[in-house]
Amino acid sequence: MKFSLTILGSSSALPTSDRFLTAQVLNVNERFFLLDCGEGTQIQLRRCRVPFGKIKHIFISHLHGDHVFGLPGLISTFNLLGRLDDLHIYAHKSLKQILNQFLGQFYIKLGFNLIYHVLDEENYSLIYEDKTMEVYSFPLKHRILCNGFLFKEKPKPRNLRKDAIEFYNIPVRDRVNIKNGADFVSEDGTVIPNERLTISPPKSKSYAYLTDTEFLPSVALYIQEVELLYHEATFLDEDTILASETGHSAASQAAQIAALANASRLVLGHFSTRYHDLDVFKTQAQKTFNNVELARDGVVFEV
């Protein structure tokens, strides 16, 4: 199953000459999910060769400009390109009013529907589901309402052992149930345990997106065993007090969340423009959690 993350922007508050504002695209089997939409997102979508027409779901963590100012322009571009497919937007409730005002003030009549999904401000909630995956939202701790997101591949059915299926002469009609975990009962009443007939499927893939939050240990409960974790690290450790005052995290705090969640990999991003040597973020985080990478613009992480 294709499951990859493309970093479109990694800067916080202000863009720089080499870092755009926060936006990411998660590709799940050529379905593209956009996470946040800072200024310049559509430029980065083109540079990273993300097909505009395949973006059908946009997730907005919160309504600070560096995460959402690119959305009105992107919607306008979709319209100019002749989009007809519905566009689903997952955000806090005031975004609908903001976008409707924008469309009205600039006399933009869309040729497609905007469908809004209001995020739960307090609870861990299922917000999207299809045949192969689920998306959950959960509250973070920032200066305004802010949510994180967890993308999870649904558990796969078990794999049949061809040799065992042939040895026990399992009828075709019973094989689906066996793949779903059932034992097999032969005509003479003998029970063949499922573990003799199947092997475990590959681990389901998962990605968690935690941006703009103070250090919040309790959030680790929502993302246990996540394979790839993106956690904001706006500040270096020497500025931890400033991080708390502004509703953000420092590098080692992000690493602590990764450790508490027993994540496989940690990606740091949302870097303050005050820092130029981003490798220091990685060095500080690795004192707590070993498998750390940096969310540089244009980088693709395979899950």
pLDDT in tens, 32-63: 999 999 999 999 999 999 999 999 999 999 99
DSSP 93: T
User: Residue 212 pairs with which residues in a beta bridge?
Assistant: none
Q: What is the mean pLDDT of residues 283-292?
A: 98
Q: How confident is the model at residue 261 (pLDDT cuts 50, 70, 90)?
A: very high
Q: What is the mean pLDDT of residues 281-289?
A: 98
What is the gyration radius of the CA atoms in the chain, in angstroms?
22
pLDDT of 1 higher than 80:
no
The pLDDT value given to residue 11: 98
Instruction: Return residue ranges of the chain for CATH 3.60.15.10.
Output: 3-156+202-302
Q: What is the mean pLDDT of residues 215-224?
A: 98
Does this model's pTM top 0.75? My answer is yes
Per-residue burial over 28-50, b = 16 or more CB atoms within 10 Å of its CB, e = otherwise:
beeebbbbbbbbbbbebbeeeeb
| Residue 15, CB-side half-sphere exposure with 13 Å CA sphere | 21
pLDDT of 254 higher than 90:
yes
Q: Does the annotation mark 279 as catalytic?
A: no
The pLDDT value given to residue 176: 86
Structural class in CATH, domain 3-156+202-302: alpha beta
Q: Which of 66, 212, 237, 239 is catalytic?
A: 66
Q: How confident is the model at residue 201 (pLDDT cuts 50, 70, 90)?
A: confident
pLDDT of 142 higher than 80:
yes
Percent of the chain with pLDDT over 70: 100
Q: How confident is the model at residue 200 (pLDDT cuts 50, 70, 90)?
A: confident
